[in-house]
Structure 1
Amino acid sequence: MIKRIRDLIVKYNELIVYLVFGVLTTAVNWGIYSVLVKYFGFNINAGNIIAWIVAVVFAFVTNKIWVFKSKTTAFKLVLKEFVLFVGARALSGVIEIGGLPLLVWLGLGQTVFGVEAFLAKIVISFVVIILNFIFSKLIVFKKKKEDNDEL
């Protein structure tokens, strides 16, 4: 049984680590959003945009180093990864920013933990986590053939 669990962890290590950092990134996003909306009086869209920007920077660092273990260190290559990452996150960010008011309009605007529209924020966050893994794995940190030869 323990060997089976260990084998599953090894087999799905990248996905597991991604999910751990995805949860942390989501916590950063939700935390910033909650503080800005609840304590600083930001409207939900402004709070959402600022929370998204902070979460994207956090996610790039964690995804590059710990999830996809990108070995690029040359400035131009890191910059390329960052631009691709931000572009992919911008696409999912548009989905999140547009999705939040859409979900509120569809009836998910309930206040949760004293935070306006937090139920909609939770739902759209799950959609975004899935999209971001796909974009990061297949586009941003895609392993090159020579990377696979070294592994």
Structure 2
Amino acid sequence: MVQLIKQLWRRYQSVLAYLIFGGLTTLVNLVVFWLFNFIWPYWLANTIAWFLSVLFAYITNKLWVFDSKTPTTKAVFHEMVSFFGFRLLSFFVDQGIMIVGISVLHGNDLIVKIIDQVIIVVMNWFFSKLFIFKNRAS
């Protein structure tokens, strides 16, 4: 049984690690959104939550999910620009879902945010796996 678990971990390590750290990133996003949504409009709370969660995600994805090794400062910069660039793309989808869900459909802010995050996590995994941290074989 232990051997089977080790085999499954090796085979699906990046996906499982992404689920763990993606879950934590989502938690950061939801908590920050929830806290700032009491103070500012939902779109501003969402922007702040996005920024802080993307910063958290970059560090955890680089170190523990995709085990990215960047040998030069230029390579780190390129990777970071790619990461934030693709996350900026998902931010526009994120804001669009929030605007439609809250302002147009009059949904509950937090419920719309949770639904939104499921879509964004899947998008971001594909961006990270296929474009940003592609130098890791898994």
Q: Considering the TM-score relative to the shorter chain, is it more than 0.5?
A: yes
TM-score by length of 2: 0.92
**Partner residue in 2 for 1:63:** 61
Q: Percent identity?
A: 36
Aligned-residue CA RMSD (Å): 1.7
In the alignment of these two chains, the number of paired residues is 137
For residues 54 and 63 of structure 2, what CA distance do their matches in structure 1 show?
14
Of stretches 50-59 and 2-11 in structure 1, the one that deviates more from structure 2 is: 2-11
SS in structure 2 at match of 1:134: helix
**Partner residue in 2 for 1:7:** 7
**Partner residue in 1 for 2:18:** 18
String of CA shifts for 1:22-59, please: whole Å, max 9, x gaps.
Answer: 01111111111111112xx2110000001101111111
**Partner residue in 1 for 2:81:** 83
Unaligned runs of 5+ in 1: 111-116
TM-score by length of 1: 0.84
For residues 106 and 9 of structure 1, what CA distance do their matches in structure 2 show?
41
Letter in 2 for 1:68: F
Unaligned runs of 5+ in 2: none
Shift of 1:11: 1.0
1:1-151 to structure 2, matched below 5 A, reads: 1-38=1-38, 41-104=39-102, 105-106=104-105, 109-110=107-108, 117-143=109-135
Letter in 1 for 2:116: I
